[in-house]
Amino acid sequence: MRRLLRPRPLLRAMVELANAANGFRPIAREGYLTIPVFAFGWPTSEMSPLYLAASVLSALRRGLRGDFAGTRGRIALVLTMIAWVLLWLIHRRNVASRPHFEEPLRAELGDDYEEIAARSQPSRRRVQVGVWPTELVRRRYVETTVRYGPHPRGNLADIWRRADLPRDAKAPVLLQVPGGAWSIGMRRPQAYPLLSHLADRGWVCVSIDYRVSPRHTWPDHIVDVKRALAWIKENIADYGGDPDFVAITGGSAGGHLSSLAALTPNEPRWQPGFEDADTSVVAAVPIYGRYDWVSLEGSGRREFIWFLEKLVVKKPFRENREIYLDASSIRHVRPDAPPFFILHGCDDSIIPVAEGREFAAALRAVSTNTVVYAEIPHAQHAFDFYYGSPRAHYTAQAVETFLSWVHARYQSRTRPRADA
C-alpha cells in the first residue's frame, strides 16, 4: 500500500498535461469516448484559472518535498509547465471570445441593437462577475418553488425575481429548460449566470424540472415543457411577470425542448388535458441543442439514435420513424417562427457544431422573423455553465441583449400612442 501511495510526479504531470490539452482542444470527437472527453474537458476549458492556480500551488508544495529532483522529476516539471501554458492560453482565448457573441447580433439586428435593447430594461443594477457559490445566488433571487403540473417530483419550478420587483411590474418572462440528455433535467444549478443576470435587470425567470428518461418516455418531456408554459401564462402575473411576453431558452436537451416548444405552439397532441392552453412564446434561445432525431449522417449520430431507442423513445427507429421525425425541431421550422438566437460551440464534443449550423440554416430559409446564429470558437459543450467563466458571462449578456431587443420591439407595438 505504501508503494502505491508514493509520489509519482511524472505520471501526475502527464495526467495534468493530457487534461490541459483536452481542454485546449478535445482529443476525441467520435464514438463514446466523447463522453469522458467532455466530462474532463468542459470544466478545464471554462475554469482554467482555477486549475492553473491549483496546479501551481501543488507544484510548489511538491517541489519543496523534492518531487522534481532527478531526471524524471525534471521531466515532470517541464510537462507540468507546458500544462500551465496551455491553461493560460485557454483563459486568454476565452476572454477574447466576446466579439463572437456580439457580432452575430449586430449583423442581424443592426448597429443600433444595443440602444434598442436598452429601451426595454425595467431597471438596471450591477453586472454579476466573479466566481459565486451557486447556492448563495439561488437564495438571493429564487423567491419560491412551485408545482406547475400533476407530477410531484417532476413538475417543480423555481421563480427567479428581484425582491424589490413590484407585483404589478408586467416584467418580461423567461422559461429556462434544463439539459441532461433527457435523462437528468435538473433545474439546479443550470443557467444560473443567465438567470441571475436577467433577474437582476428586472426579468422574471422560471426554471423547471420535467419528467426524464428512462423512468419516463417521450413525449413526456415536451408535454411538461408545454405544461410549464401554460402555467406561466395563467400564474406569472402574480409574481410581477407579463403573461403576454414569455420567451424560452435551454441548453443541450433543453435546447432541443425549447426550440421544439417554440416551433409547435398550441400543439394539441402534446397538451393532453390542457389542449386549449396558450403555449406560444415570443422568442427562443436554444444553446448547443440536438435539433435532428432522424439523420444518421455526421459524428456520433448512430450512437445518439441508439441512445434514443433504448432510453428515451424506447421504440425501434426504423419501425417508428414518424415519432423521431415529429420530435425533430428542424422538421418544424415555419414561416411564423418567433425570433431565434441559436448558440453553439465549435469544439462541442457531445453535439457537433454542424447541428447548430444546419438548424440555423433551415430556420433562416423559411422564417420571416429574426434568426441570429452565434458560433463560438473553441467552446466545448455547456460553455455557459460556470460563474467566473468569460463565456458564461458573455452568454448571459448576449442573450439578455437579444431578448431585450425583442422586448423593446414588442413594447413599441403594444404601448398606447401619445396622440391616441
Query: Running DSSP on this structure, what letter comes out for residue 412?
Result: H
- The CA–CA distances, whole Å, from 201 to 136, 173, 205, 211 equal 18, 12, 11, 30
Q: What is the three-class DSSP state of 144?
A: strand
Query: Does the annotation mark 91 as catalytic?
Result: no
Query: Does the annotation mark 242 as catalytic?
Result: no
Query: Does the annotation mark 97 as catalytic?
Result: no
Spot the catalytic one: 216, 332, 378, 381.
Answer: 381
- CA–CA separation, 214 vs 31, rounded Å? 21
Cell numbers given for 104: 452575430
- CA–CA separation, 274 vs 92, rounded Å? 50
Spot the catalytic one: 97, 207, 213, 252.
Answer: 252
Q: Which residues fall within 8 angstroms of residue 41, CB to CB, at 6 or more apart?
A: 19, 22, 23, 26, 27, 349, 380
Phi first, then psi: give them for residue 197, nearest 5 degrees.
Answer: -60, -45
Name the residue type at position 410.
Answer: Y
- 205 contacts 199 by C-beta, under 8 angstroms: yes
Q: Count Cα atoms within 13 angstroms, Cβ side, for 328.
A: 18
Spot the catalytic one: 224, 292, 326, 348.
Answer: 348
Write out the catalytic residue numbers. Answer: 252, 348, 381
